[in-house]
Amino acid sequence: MIQTPTPIPKGQCGILLEHLKSAPITHLEAVKMYNITGFLARISELRAMGYAITDTYQTSPKGARYKVYRMGAT
């Protein structure tokens, strides 16, 4: 069976995907860099399209916890 590649998404999903291919990103970075306020919805959409996106919690020097998203292995 020939597997066809998933088309590259457009709009905010495409912007996020291109970023994730080269570097991890946080919700706040997505808002500041790309004005993507629906970040979690875009991550969910990319995952639904089959992209392996992992997330891990980080802690800031002041003790705030946040997630960092990156492309993961399938």
pLDDT digits (tens, 9 = 90+) for 52-70: 999 999 999 999 999 999 9
- Give the pLDDT score at 66: 97
* Domain range summary for the chain, segments of one domain joined by +: 11-71
Distance CA 36, CA 18 (A): 14
Domain 11-71 in CATH 1.10.10.10: yes
Average pLDDT, the chain: 90
- Regions of the chain short of the pLDDT cut 50: 1-4
